Amino acid sequence: MAKLRSRLGAVTATAAISALTVGGLSSAALAAVDEPVDAGITVPKVDGLADDFMNGVDASSILSLEESGVTFKDFEGNEADVFDVMADAGVNYSRIRVWNDPFTAEGEGYGGGNVDAERATEIGLRSTEGGMKVFLDFHYSDFWAHPGQQQEPKAWSEMSAAEKADALYDYTYETVSDMKNAGVDIGMVQIGNETTNLEAAGESWPASGALFKAGADAVRDALGDDAKVAIHFTNPERGTYMGYAEKLDKGPDGNANTGDEIDYDVFASSYYAYWHGTLTNLTSQLSNVATTYDKDVIVAETSWNYTLEDGDGHENTIRKSTQSDKYSSSVQGQALAVRDVIDAVAKVGDAGLGVFYWEPAWLPVGTADDVESNKLLWEEFGSGWASSYAGEYSTDAGKNYGGSAWDNQAMFDFEGNPLESLRVFDYVKTGSVAPRELDSIQQPAITVTEGDAITLPRLRGGVLHGRHHGNRDRDLERQGLVDRRTWCLRDQWHDGERLRHRRDDYRARRLRRGREPRGQPRLRGRQVPVGDHG
């Protein structure tokens, strides 16, 4: 692995980028007002962040993990409460999913933390004690609810939409009231999880409108103005958010100001960089909703992988065959991925309230080479994504139950040590600067057929401080040194010049021998690793 280090000094990432020259840093850069902290990772400052910006996490699987023997450490290596560790790193909000009844009649848990209202209250109290406000995420299901899977709870399976609305109101009101009375500091409540196409609890729009309204009304009645009401969607790349917002604004009858409108405060989106398009589009989608319908906006779920290794023997969602090249699979790449989502939400303006990282603590319960022991823990404590018991409720879970598919996207390593990327929530306020380090150089290959002209890439890609090489700043590109946005070094010789020199030498040798050149030198159908030829 090639290494390149140079201290950038006390300048913001943005200032350093614009001030970098062949000779080093300009005096203007050194005089930058906002000085970043020295760190092990580089995180450019995010401008315009409010003091109360929601730096959130969703660690809903935590009780089952701890019951399975997982422990966590602080940045000094001492065993510590995970919520204290996250709070020390700048996290100020805790999102907690709530399932109605994630258990069999005999009491076996479905997995994924087995998070019913009682366990959500326990997590909420620990979050509150750690200094965080709580964001409740009602799925209105007994297990995972997401696009294409909005199954009603077992107890509601024979109900009409109107009856479900009544049951949903009662369940929401009682749950948030009990949590408040227990001492949980609830700041926001989500009505349904990733309710794409406005589906919830087995109902589609417009019938589902009564359910959204019932949930929102229950939160208002139980908590008043002390908590915001959020409705959550995903797939911003599809451009559907304005349509959802319009329907919520008019209500299920399709007409404004008739009394059936959905009373909510926050339009929430998931955003996973490897699935959900560009950050520019995310900002645009959220800004349009915020401006047109006077709503606040958040990203309720995001994450990125810091490694491609598997920690528990259960296949991860992001692995070598499914990885994205938007950022590197590293702690640095993870930090930049989160930083850029925070930046995208901040660019919405005052309506951009915050960003929540999904399951930063979902660690392996054992090693990858001891899957059989891990399976026993997943089944007993619900610390995997699903147990076999969930098969009675979910066909998908019944076929694919197992461990954590998320352990390589956690913000703790497999042994429970916090990664420096967890500090991104603090670093975005000032920026952080690390030694510049070229993590890796991509090694693409080309296959050529005898007789064909050989065309090589003009630039060889590299990964520097977590981002992949790109062409984003023409001025600094002309200097031949760096890519402005990604801090990537130029591979200056690798532009075909060496091949042209070889070709010219070949032609000169032919002419000296009294022979006519015969075109390009040839390679006989073999792969040539780019960058290894000379």
Structure confidence by residue, pLDDT tens digits, 357-404:
999 999 999 999 999 999 999 999 999 999 999 999 999 999 999 999
Nearest-angstrom CA–CA distance, 17 and 483? 9
Long-range contacts made by residues 178-183, C-beta under 8 angstroms, separation at least 24?
178/117, 178/121, 179/117, 179/120, 179/121, 179/124, 179/134, 179/136, 180/222, 180/223, 182/121, 182/124, 182/125, 183/125, 183/128
pLDDT at 32: 46
pLDDT for residue 461: 56
Give start and end residues of each alpha helix (H) in 72-190: 82-88, 117-129, 161-182
Mean pLDDT of the region 477-488: 37
pLDDT at 506: 52
What residues act catalytically? 194, 301
Please give the average per-residue pLDDT across 265-280, as a whole number.
98
Specify the pLDDT at position 415.
98
Question: Which pLDDT band holds residue 261 (cuts at 50, 70, 90)?
Answer: very high
User: What rounded mean pLDDT belongs to the chain?
Assistant: 85
Is the per-residue pLDDT at 240 higher than 80? yes
Task: Determine the Cα–Cα distance for residues 231 and 234; give it in Å rounded to an integer.
Answer: 11
pTM over 0.85: no
Per the model's pLDDT, the better-predicted residue between 427 and 19 turns out to be 427
pLDDT recorded at residue 449: 79
Looking at the chain, the whole-number percentage of residues with pLDDT higher than 70 is 77
Residue 13: pLDDT over 60:
no
Q: 3-state DSSP call for residue 88?
A: helix
495, pLDDT greater than 60: no
How confident is the model at residue 35, as a pLDDT? 85
Looking at residues 193-214, what average pLDDT do you find? 98
Rounded alpha-carbon distances, angstroms, from residue 36 to 13, 429, 430, 431: 8, 9, 5, 5
Cα–Cα separations (whole angstroms), residue 1 to 4, 331, 437, 442, 492: 10, 16, 10, 11, 18
pLDDT tens-digit readout, 90-117: 999 999 999 999 999 999 999 999 999 9
Give the residue-averaged pLDDT of 249-261.
Answer: 96
Closest Cα to residue 83, out of 422, 486, 464?
Answer: 422
The answer to whether the CB of 277 falls within 8 A of the CB of 269 is no
Residues 6+ apart with CB under 8 A from 157: 202
Kindly report which listed range (179-193, 208-222, 515-529) carries the lowest average pLDDT score: 515-529
pLDDT of residue 462: 60
User: 215 versus 17: which is more confidently predicted?
Assistant: 215
Longest dimension (CA), the chain: 97
pLDDT band for position 122 (50/70/90)? very high
Q: Taking residues 283-289, report their average pLDDT.
A: 98
Task: State what percent of residues in the chain have pLDDT above 90.
Answer: 75
Q: Is the pLDDT of residue 474 over 70?
A: no
Task: Please say if the pLDDT value at position 27 is more than 70.
Answer: no
Question: Is the pLDDT at 508 greater than 90, yes or no?
Answer: no
Among 427, 431, 425, 429, CA closest to 87: 425
d(CA 349, CA 421) in angstroms, rounded, equals: 25
